[in-house]
Structure 1
């Protein structure tokens, strides 16, 4: 690729960014970085009726949180701005006029009521109304009116739109980097509106003009834009421009496999579909996911590296990514797998880093005893329990007993493990623990196991009630590690309390 690679992500600010949009942005980012190119953010806000306050800021915040920031866009001028279409509206009219002058577009004066009438009339006859070659000469436009009448109407300030004049009986041959060669018969295409009566371009014209002026080399977008590709290619040809290369990404499908993933699926399945929270909808960030886990699972929705590798850093994704390995078929979204990715990323984090992330949860849940929020203590707790955690918030539940002595004991465990002779045995265990000089996991284990063997007691008869006394349940890591971390005084106090209470 001799020309510098330039890609763009061009969302509309009509609401929060869905993870399907995040994946489109990610694939653009990976492709740009792999080829030493630029990743441009363009805000397509030509439809002012659907504009939602705060949506643009949300899009930018989401990209930043995912670690895939844009190189150029609103607030980061790279010499191709402005990057909001609403601020570029003076640019488009001249290209619409140029197409009219070339005879490749025309003025249409049909009222909304008239078009609606034609639509309903066709429906009643079991047909579909398409505004194109087979009926445009019977409708109200500059092809059916004389040049004088057209001029009179324009001078009188009558409402009009500019439509593309789709050629008749031609084949448009399209090349897509994901889907290969596609042929379209122009007779089935309609004469799309390029410029509206309110002085704003439609998406089709603005998109082409902006991609050309911003020197975009590759358009990587969702497959919902595939039906527009024939028109876009024809517009490039009509304006005498070289089209960028196109790649249409597969849809992200519902967990059940049929249909496109929606917010409703997330609500129903209890998983997020947005990167960040939006109004009452939870985002991946707020649900406790790491951005690198979100990026990792999104990358593998519709792309495969051709190897068995499933866990990637962003750098590894950039290195491995190629459009040739993007699938044509839709990718089924799997909420369980997204959690697996988060669990894997959590295990990869260093213990000090996790301890730092854990501290706010410890404070929030009131698990605070001064000596138990030192970095050293938190790191020791985290190292014992992290392998059972999927989210940082899980560490609270998994390790609560390291901060607070149990005040209640799991009923089922008590029924099963707490026998008549248990208090007597545990009182003897207290004596053994108090005699341990160096209160380390290793030393406690040697002395306690020796004592159990000498007394010829079944191992479980001692260890299960001991765990119950320390933890309040039959869960948690190695008992001797728990004893070491709690310390001699705290461990003995907990056993005494359990004996007294149970």
Structure 2
């Protein structure tokens, strides 16, 4: 029996006809700009229909969990202008809203699936699964679970459990091991129409991991049902997972929500937006001096759902046709139409975002502009972090600007004579800088972790500490001398530091290509 603590309230919002939507970010690092994009769409959908917007935290991936990330998600989404009706920090009738606090629910629902034959315990070890995957790839077959546990009798499974064998719980996909065409799942996407997946392409997905935590698939479906979610609005990368979710809804005997899969944000070259080509951290945009209303406006342009003002509106409201793309959240609530969304990937063009941010900055009165500077680039908290790093090196206060200017610059591009060590070539220096970026992306952002990560790389690549610190100092500050480097990285922040490294590498690769030395 599902505990009384977790029972649905007596009035199911789905049955009452109330629209309910949600976003479910994972606290695994800096909040992603894609979370704000999908969050905005969910917010607009709910508020246009008098419904509820729910924030749920999907924190069951304990290997990637970052303790500070949840609060960062709350702060970043509120900064960009979004609020929610229910969530971990505001409460609500369908909680708990953290999945780590709902593990009892998932286990009990897993037991129901096992009892009904829609799921089974799988006892294969990670090594056995990896060997199977390699065999399938060698045979040019799609990697897919095909272990013997699927065919265990209930008695065999119970005996393995009694022996203490660790196990996962997997979804039993009907006819998943038969030739193509014998079984399939069809669901409706509100933007694309009916989509069908043959079960030969649908794996027996893990629902409950061996550590007792659910995977995204089980927790997603159970939570959406228990929280009365009527419309699932998420990125199109989840389309391939939807058949598994539909099968779970059917196994439980639950009604399906409506599915809306939004086109992915794209780089200018149409590749999926990624930190390798664009800053994706909302923290970066806040620290770099973008205005939240400009960023929200920019995200509202993605997908083409925003109806342009009519000629009559332009005349009656005295609008500038050049600024037709500049609008407020209130304008979005009035004019955003989900059926206008284009399935072509919306381009996340930083050039346009900077233009838009400039329009907002120029529209401010001087006092508001001054306040914006003091709240971000020249905030008391930021200046207090910088001051101790330069204090012992100064003879007059006027020297502060010379020593600390790189903390306030948007772009720092050192010349090769500054960043290339004497015994290194430009090409091998840039190759090492790329390796350094990869290492720092994975490092915890505190001095001892950064230092340890760098020294491991130095040993592996046979670079000296002096060479590596000279290179990193040049990339971050544009200088050969600076305040303490590691401490400066902490103050500048991970998002801005890594963005500075990416921009450096991009600029240098372009310069090499122009010189005919790049690949």
Identify the range of structure 1 (289-298 vs 306-315) with the bigger mean alpha-carbon deviation: 306-315
The match for 2:242 among 217, 220, 229 is: 229
Which residue matches 2:171? 164
Q: Distance in 1 between matches of 2:239 and 2:51?
A: 24
Aligned pair 1:250/2:258, yes or no? Answer: no
Identify the range of structure 1 (81-90 vs 121-130) with the bigger mean alpha-carbon deviation: 121-130
Which residue matches 1:60? 74
Q: Distance in 2 between matches of 1:247 and 1:361?
A: 36
Which residue matches 1:329? 344
Question: SS in structure 1 opposite 2:285?
Answer: coil
Question: SS in structure 2 opposite 1:118?
Answer: helix
Q: Distance in 1 between matches of 2:249 and 2:377?
A: 59
Contact 1:297–1:338 under 8 Å retained in 2: yes
TM-score (structure 2 length as normaliser): 0.63
Aligned pair 1:265/2:280, yes or no? Answer: no
Q: What are the equivalent positions in structure 2 for 1:56-135 lying under 5 Å apart?
A: 56-131=70-145
Contact 2:288–2:377 under 8 Å retained in 1: no
- Indicate the RMSD between aligned Cα atoms, in angstroms: 2.4
Which residue matches 1:463? none
Which residue matches 1:320? 335
Distance 1:214 1:363, change over 3 A: closer
Q: Distance in 2 between matches of 1:357 and 1:299?
A: 22
How big is the shift at 1:352? 4.7
Unmatched runs of 5 consecutive residues or more in structure 1: 267-271, 277-282, 365-392, 395-502
Which residue matches 2:303? 302
Question: SS in structure 2 opposite 1:57?
Answer: helix
Contact 1:251–1:260 under 8 Å retained in 2: yes
Which residue matches 1:7? 21
Question: SS in structure 1 opposite 2:222?
Answer: helix
How big is the shift at 1:305? 2.2
Unmatched runs of 5 consecutive residues or more in structure 2: 1-13, 176-181, 310-323, 380-407, 410-519
Q: What are the equivalent positions in structure 2 for 1:424-443 lying under 5 Å apart?
A: none
Q: Distance in 1 between matches of 2:68 and 2:252?
A: 35
Q: Distance in 1 between matches of 2:114 and 2:271?
A: 40
Q: What are the equivalent positions in structure 2 for 1:182-261 lying under 5 Å apart?
A: 182-255=195-268, 257-261=269-273
Q: Which protein is bigger by CA-based radius of gyration?
A: 1
Deviations 1:255-310 (A, max 9, x none): 2x2311112213xxxxx43222xxxxxx2222222111000001111133232531
Contact 2:209–2:215 under 8 Å retained in 1: yes
Contact 1:247–1:323 under 8 Å retained in 2: no
How big is the shift at 1:154? 1.7
Q: What are the equivalent positions in structure 2 for 1:373-392 lying under 5 Å apart?
A: none
Aligned length: 348
Question: SS in structure 1 opposite 2:21?
Answer: strand
How big is the shift at 1:312? 1.2
Q: Distance in 1 between matches of 2:40 and 2:273?
A: 18
Contact 1:177–1:323 under 8 Å retained in 2: no
Q: Distance in 2 between matches of 1:358 and 1:109?
A: 58
Deviations 1:333-384 (A, max 9, x none): 21121112112223433455335546789999xxxxxxxxxxxxxxxxxxxx
Which residue matches 1:444? none
Question: SS in structure 2 opposite 1:50?
Answer: coil
How big is the shift at 1:157? 2.3
